[in-house]
Structure 1
Amino acid sequence: MFALYVISTVLTALLCAGGAWMNFTRHPVTVAAAEQVQVPLSWTRPIGLVFAAGGLGVLAGFALPVVGVAAAAGLVFHFVGAIIAHLRVHDLDLGKAGGALVLMGVNLGVTLAYHLG
């Protein structure tokens, strides 16, 4: 179980690091996605902070389990919000947000199972 916990946490942290970088630099993919779901471009940096905090939080969970669980849960809520933002504008291209939500959900489940089991 420990190996699965480490793998899912590291993958989550890497995805979050990439998402944070893309939002902080206003990468064209991020800008296009924000425009598609009608989110103001001024939100890209705060969303990048969510990614950065979430990624650091799941890694901190190795030492402080409650922080890891809280960060993993926060990331799940973030991507549920992303799915809602896509559906709000009738954008059914949910591949990226849906895939990320699955990874975040797996990480939350594995984190809970590891620390509570």
Structure 2
Amino acid sequence: MSEVLLAIEGDIRVDPERLDRITDELADDLREINGLVITKPASAAGDAKSTAAVEIGQLLASGGALGTAAWVIRDVIYKFLDRTRATSITVKNGDREVTIVRPADKQVEDVVERLRDVLNDD
């Protein structure tokens, strides 16, 4: 069974307690996906002040459902990014990786304005 690393990146000023809390929230969200097992990496265990997990929240995902659950995982990550205001989540599998970035508020506003223009009945 392969393991995939999920790294939550946020504002560098985020406090360790909040990062730990939102990392646990993402873990709980991902555990709702059947066949997916979510754990914290061994390096994140113990005193958070002495680990790299202080700057970046990390989770390991494993299970037979990884490939087939890609769409659901993506949806969970997008909702998480929006809810927590984290900057991005990088998913790594060996030397392959993808970073899912939360759109900036300005980008969302621009899309809403363009959508209003498209939907306007002038």
TM-score with structure 2 length normalisation?
0.32
Higher fraction of helix: 1
Whose RCO is larger (CA < 8 A, sep 6+)?
Answer: 2
Return the index of the structure with the highest Cα Rg.
2
TM-score with structure 1 length normalisation?
0.33
